[in-house]
Amino acid sequence: MSSTASVPQRRGLLLIVSSPSGAGKTTLTRLLLAEDKSMHLSISVTTRPRRGSEIDGVHYRFIDAGSFETMREKGELLESAKVHGNYYGTPAGPVEEALAAGRDVLFDIDWQGTMQIYNKMRPDIVSVFVLPPSVAELKARLERRAEDSPEIILQRLQNARVEISHWTKYDYVLVNTDLQTTYAKLKEILDVERMKRQDKSQVGQLVDTLKADLDALTRGR
């Protein structure tokens, strides 16, 4: 009887997580990265000032408006958008390298960037929109995070109205009430989407082997 075929492989996927500011997408994506070392985080460039807790090159690459414009003009950004008055963009090179190496790539980007990447790579994308359970909780989280001034927090709450209206464009929506529950759901989504992308040609080989073995086992009985 022939031996079992190898475990089916699959193509890399792009996991996009978006939310209004303060809903918890950074916390969720950091949990995922800490647990799943195979996942590559796309580190965006931004013209926004660095927050106290942020490290250049780890959370973002903080660049000036001139450098941002140069990158955009040279076609080095997979997508870019103006959010809360600052520019943000995804450097294309690291994403392409990670996908070529068969790794999944995680994006913490807004709905405008998501739409741009949809247009280029839709079949490989899994998109998740994170909502807060209430406005009071969203405001409380922004205040508890204590990284932004009251003016910046107000601006982010004002922008949240438009941002949440784009939830319909996403594959999944999670309401981030309890962090661990939401995180567990995010991991379930990733597991299922990884399974959906298993290389079907290898499944086909396994099924052929199973059929041949079944024929051999049952022949003449």
Ligand X SMILES: Nc1ncnc2c1ncn2[C@@H]1O[C@H](COP(=O)(O)OP(=O)(O)O)[C@@H](O)[C@H]1O
Ligand Y SMILES: Nc1nc2c(ncn2[C@@H]2O[C@H](COP(=O)(O)OP(=O)(O)O)[C@@H](O)[C@H]2O)c(=O)[nH]1
Residue type, 64: D
Binding pattern to ligand Y, positions 99-118, x when CB under 6 A?
Answer: ---------xxx-xx-----
Binding pattern to ligand X, positions 111-150, x when CB under 6 A?
Answer: ------------------------------x--xx-----
If you write DSSP's letter for every residue of 160-217 in order, what string do you get?
A: HHHHHTTGGGSSEEEE-SSHHHHHHHHHHHHHHHHHHTB-HHHHHHHHHHHHHHHHHH
Q: Which is nearer to ligand X, 40 or 59 (CB)?
A: 59
- Judged by CB under 6 A, does residue 27 bind ligand X? yes
- β-bridge pairing 86-91 and 77-83: antiparallel
Query: Which residue intervals of the chain are DSSP H helices?
Result: 25-35, 65-73, 92-100, 111-121, 135-145, 150-164, 179-196, 200-218
- Judged by CB under 6 A, does residue 48 bind ligand X? no
Partner from ligand X, ligand Y, none contacting 176, C-beta within 5 to 8 A by type: ligand X
Contact between residue 116 and residue 127 where contact means Cβ atoms under 8 Å apart:
no
Q: Shortest gap between Cβ of 138 and ligand Y (angstroms)?
A: 11
Q: Give the binding site for ligand X (CB under 6 A).
A: 19, 21-27, 141, 144-145, 176, 178-179
**Chain contacts with ligand Y (rule: CB under 6 A):** 18, 21-22, 26, 44, 48, 79, 81, 83-84, 88-90, 108-110, 112-113
